[in-house]
């Protein structure tokens, strides 16, 4: 499209990457869809990523020019490597964790063509939830505006002209205007201007480069324009931990460098003092805040455990609550100390307060290890072996309380970011139907460790299909907001293959439902992109020589669990025994298509009519070892490869309503066998008790 002979390229696009290959791949897809006939030169500079970004991207986008640095050179220096070889009439500097519309390049190119005095321009930046990103346009910081920013007053008073000067917050986000500074996430330069300025100042490593170069554009006599006619999504724009010391130090250092370079020496001395005070204040406040919230959870749980132990001693030794200090021995606190130490060690080993923060099974493990550890130690230290009942009762009470707390905490989040570990399935809506929709649905169902319930599909109305892989089409794209409300949707997956980037960004900005999480599924169906997170859609391997279910220890511990739970259950349902012995109807043999699955089971049929009597009988069958609490479906004849003891419930059974194909169902069973642990059994039992699935009701139909 470019008619000037010296420029054979319309737009050079420069992207600096650091460990975000999936986001960058998604951006490249959107760039190609936004090409619209323009000739592009795409340059990716990789700053020593550790995720094999360059090989990963080269296989998919071989026509891109790549620079692979041996170390992280910083934002400015890495961009300068590419600026030196930029051949386009215009050069776009863009972050890898962004997504552009199909009209973005066109509108920015035409704007620059229309306004020759403009040296650089930027578009509207959106956060992943569709809200306006404040960094879209800013002012050149003055000592006063920087002071308000450093002290946090800009965030506290976002609409005040005095305190909010840094982000120009009083300006209409949809009004085109000249602005002093653009965000480094998207800067559309006239290449001649960029080279005249010799690119970015390399003394700025991570922050401040965009402020500096925009200030120099203004000094050189060019305009900087804010063009809100098009927009991009900046996935990680909000994810920076701005209360962390590293961010505070780097940001304030960049501001100081900027003032030292562009303002008088007297200003720099003043600002040096301001920055020092800002670093101290923000650093101390941020550190205390982070330490407080990070430590609040474990401190609270440890306090609860210790209170439970003290109450157990009070009950066991009948210590009067009115005057406990006179009777409570100091030596009793040895239990508190030992349990606290062992619990913290177990929590550290299992990453209880980081990766497994919400895991019910992990906290149960830590409680069991802590109380069992004390029982083991006091077996040899008889002077401290006060009462085994205190340990048993304390372990049960602590485990129940902490597990219940996590269960409630995890499930009161109506719109959780992740599906893993939740009892209640995440209600999922897929937007955009196309040739890969069936594959996407199969891949989501194939992720056994995910807990998604696909509620329906949203299309553009061009297809006559009302059902894809048993998932209904429940609306059109223009009805997205109302569909989300009607079906109480937690997450929305945009299938890039079936919807344009323009539509995606427009829909996200239009949806006025709080807490809904939007994610992107690229054409390749390799992964799912959310706000600062990536979830892979790789298939689970079907062959694995290691079957945890069949190890001697797991066989023993599973059988022990069955015996203990069945004895308790039989005792609780013992009042039903007379009704079983006085038979008014005959027990019937369970059969499937004339075959007897597993061991012979005889129950009162129909099952639902005699539900409680049958439950008592099933507990006896578990006690004698014919079936298990958790195992294979009672209503299925299995192949020899997947043959294992049947159970009242199981991983396949609790997911039966979400999968339809036999190979998908067998995948759940294989996952259970490969990844078996006693904790997985407890998780399945919990989901069965709380969830809507009632596996045993199928017994009413298999004999017909």
Output 32 or 702, whichever has higher pLDDT.
Answer: 32
**Cα–Cα distance for residue pair 531/606, rounded to 1 Å:** 50
Answer whether residue 2 shows pLDDT above 50. Answer: yes
On whether residue 588 sits in a domain, the answer given is yes
Burial of 656 per CB tally in 10 Å (0-12, 13-18, 19+): middle
Query: Are 420 and 451 spatial neighbours (Cβ–Cβ below 8 Å)?
Result: yes
Dump strand ranges (E) for 509-632.
517-521, 527-530, 533-536, 588-589, 602-603, 628-630
On whether residue 664 sits in a domain, the answer given is yes
**How many other CB atoms are found less than 10 A from the CB of residue 649?**
24
497 and 604 in a single domain? The answer is no
Answer whether residue 676 shows pLDDT above 70. Answer: yes
| Polymer length of the chain | 704
On whether residue 383 sits in a domain, the answer given is yes
351 and 473 in a single domain? The answer is no
**Cα–Cα distance for residue pair 519/493, rounded to 1 Å:** 5
151 and 215 in a single domain? The answer is yes
**Cα–Cα distance for residue pair 232/501, rounded to 1 Å:** 9
494 and 555 in a single domain? The answer is no
If pLDDT is split at 50, 70 and 90, which confidence band does 686 have?
confident
367 and 486 in a single domain? The answer is no
On whether residue 585 sits in a domain, the answer given is yes
On whether residue 677 sits in a domain, the answer given is yes
On whether residue 503 sits in a domain, the answer given is yes
Answer whether residue 280 shows pLDDT above 80. Answer: no
For 478, the token pair is: 């223009």
**Residue 176 pLDDT:** 93
On whether residue 285 sits in a domain, the answer given is no
Question: With the CA atoms of 46, 48, 54 and 55 taken in that order, what torsion angle do they form, in degrees rounded to the nearest 10?
Answer: 170
Where a domain ends, among 360, 380, 411? 411
Of the segments 152-156, 444-448, 517-521, 604-608, which one has the largest average pLDDT value?
A: 517-521
**Cα–Cα distance for residue pair 190/31, rounded to 1 Å:** 19
What mean pLDDT is predicted for residues 120-143?
85
440 and 386 in a single domain? The answer is no
**Residue 239 pLDDT:** 36
Q: Containing domain of residue 580, as a range?
A: 548-700
Tell me the three state secondary structure of residue 395: helix
175 and 198 in a single domain? The answer is yes
**Cα–Cα distance for residue pair 494/476, rounded to 1 Å:** 13
Query: Are 43 and 29 spatial neighbours (Cβ–Cβ below 8 Å)?
Result: no
Answer whether residue 85 shows pLDDT above 60. Answer: yes
Tell me the three state secondary structure of residue 132: strand
363 and 492 in a single domain? The answer is no
Per-residue pLDDT tens over the stretch 295-341: 788 999 999 999 999 998 888 888 877 777 777 778 788 888 999 99
Where a domain ends, among 238, 256, 273? 238
**How many other CB atoms are found less than 10 A from the CB of residue 541?**
8
Per-residue pLDDT tens over the stretch 246-272: 555 566 666 666 666 666 655 556 666
On whether residue 252 sits in a domain, the answer given is no
Looking at residue 96, which CATH number applies to its domain? 3.90.550.10
14 and 160 in a single domain? The answer is yes
587 and 678 in a single domain? The answer is yes
Element (H, E) at 77: helix 75-83
Looking at residue 464, which CATH number applies to its domain? 3.40.50.720
Answer whether residue 145 shows pLDDT above 70. Answer: no
What mean pLDDT is predicted for residues 62-87?
91
Answer whether residue 547 shows pLDDT above 50. Answer: yes
- Between vectors from CA 517 to CA 515 and to CA 521, what angle results, nearest 5°? 170
69 and 104 in a single domain? The answer is yes
Of the segments 103-107, 174-178, 403-407, which one has the largest average pLDDT value?
A: 103-107
Residues above pLDDT 70, as percent of the chain? 76
103 and 83 in a single domain? The answer is yes
Total domains in the chain come to: 4
**Residue 199 pLDDT:** 85
Query: Are 425 and 451 spatial neighbours (Cβ–Cβ below 8 Å)?
Result: yes
């Amino acid at each position: 499209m470019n008619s000037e002979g010296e420029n054979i390229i319309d737009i050079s696009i420069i992207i600096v990457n650091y460990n975000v290959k999936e986001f960058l791949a998604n951006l490249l897809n959107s760039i190609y869809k936004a090409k619209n006939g323009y000739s592009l030169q795409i340059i990716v500079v990789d700053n020593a990523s550790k995720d094999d970004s360059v090989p990963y991207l080269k296989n998919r986008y071989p026509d891109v020019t790549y620079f692979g640095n041996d170390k992280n050179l910083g934002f400015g220096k890495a961009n300068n490597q590419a600026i030196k070889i930029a051949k386009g009439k215009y050069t776009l500097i863009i972050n890898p964790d962004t997504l552009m519309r199909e009209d973005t390049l066109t509108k920015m190119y035409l704007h620059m063509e229309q306004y020759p005095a403009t040296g650089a321009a930027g578009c509207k930046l959106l956060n992943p939830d569709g809200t306006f990103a404040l960094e879209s346009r800013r002012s050149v910081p003055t000592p006063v505006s920087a002071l308000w920013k450093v002290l946090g007053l800009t965030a506290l008073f976002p609409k005040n002209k005095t305190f909010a000067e840094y982000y120009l917050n009083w300006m209409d986000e949809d009004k085109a205007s000249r602005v002093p500074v653009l965000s480094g996430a998207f800067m559309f330069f006239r290449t001649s201007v960029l080279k005249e300025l010799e690119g970015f100042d390399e003394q700025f490593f991570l922050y401040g480069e965009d402020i500096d170069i925009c200030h120099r554009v203004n000094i050189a006599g060019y305009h900087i324009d804010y063009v809100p006619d098009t927009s991009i999504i900046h996935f990680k724009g909000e994810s920076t931990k701005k209360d962390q010391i590293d961010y505070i130090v780097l940001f304030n250092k960049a501001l100081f460098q900027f003032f030292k370079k562009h303002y008088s020496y007297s200003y720099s001395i003043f600002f040096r003092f301001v920055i020092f005070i800002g670093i101290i204040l923000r650093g101390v406040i941020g550190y205390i805040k982070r330490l407080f919230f990070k430590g609040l959870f474990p401190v609270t749980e440890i306090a609860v455990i210790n209170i439970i132990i003290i109450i157990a001693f009070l009950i066991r030794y009948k210590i009067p609550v009115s005057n406990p200090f006179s009777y409570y021995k100091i030596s009793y606190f040895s239990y508190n100390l030992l349990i606290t130490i062992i619990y913290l060690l177990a929590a550290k080993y299992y990453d209880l307060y980081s990766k497994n923060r919400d895991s019910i099974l992990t906290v149960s493990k830590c409680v069991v290890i802590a109380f069992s550890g004390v029982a083991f130690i006091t077996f040899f230290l008889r002077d401290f072996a006060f009462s085994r009942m205190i340990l048993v009762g304390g372990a049960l009470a602590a485990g129940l309380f902490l597990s219940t707390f996590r269960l409630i905490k995890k499930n009161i989040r109506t719109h959780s970011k992740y599906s893993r570990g939740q009892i209640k399935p995440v209600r999922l809506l897929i937007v955009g139907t196309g040739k890969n929709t069936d594959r996407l649905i199969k891949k989501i169902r194939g992720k056994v460790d995910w807990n998604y319930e696909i509620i329906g599909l949203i299309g553009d109305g061009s297809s006559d299909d009302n059902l894809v892989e048993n998932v209904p089409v429940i609306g059109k794209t223009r009805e997205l907001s109302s569909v989300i409300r009607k079906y109480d949707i937690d997450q929305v997956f945009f299938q890039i293959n079936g919807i344009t980037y323009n539509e995606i960004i427009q829909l996200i900005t239009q949806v006025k439902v709080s807490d809904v999480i939007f994610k992107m599924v690229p054409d390749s169906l390799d992964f799912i992109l959310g706000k600062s997170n990536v979830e892979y859609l790789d298939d689970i391997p079907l062959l694995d020589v290691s079957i945890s279910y069949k190890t001697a220890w797991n066989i023993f511990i599973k059988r022990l669990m069955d015996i203990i739970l069945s004895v308790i259950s039989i005792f609780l349902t013992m009042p039903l025994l007379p009704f079983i012995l006085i038979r008014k109807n005959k027990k019937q043999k369970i059969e499937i298509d004339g075959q007897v699955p597993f061991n012979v089971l005889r129950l009162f049929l129909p099952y639902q009519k005699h539900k409680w009597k049958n439950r008592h009988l099933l507990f006896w069958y578990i006690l004698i070892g014919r079936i298990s609490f958790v195992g294979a479906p009672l209503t299925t004849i299995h192949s020899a490869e997947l043959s294992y003891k049947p159970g009242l419930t199981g991983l396949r059974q609790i997911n039966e309503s979400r999968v339809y194909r036999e190979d998908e169902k067998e995948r759940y069973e294989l996952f259970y066998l490969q990844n078996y642990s006693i904790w997985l059994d407890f998780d399945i039992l919990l989901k069965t008790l709380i969830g809507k699935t009632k596996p045993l009701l199928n017994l009413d139909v298999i004999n017909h």
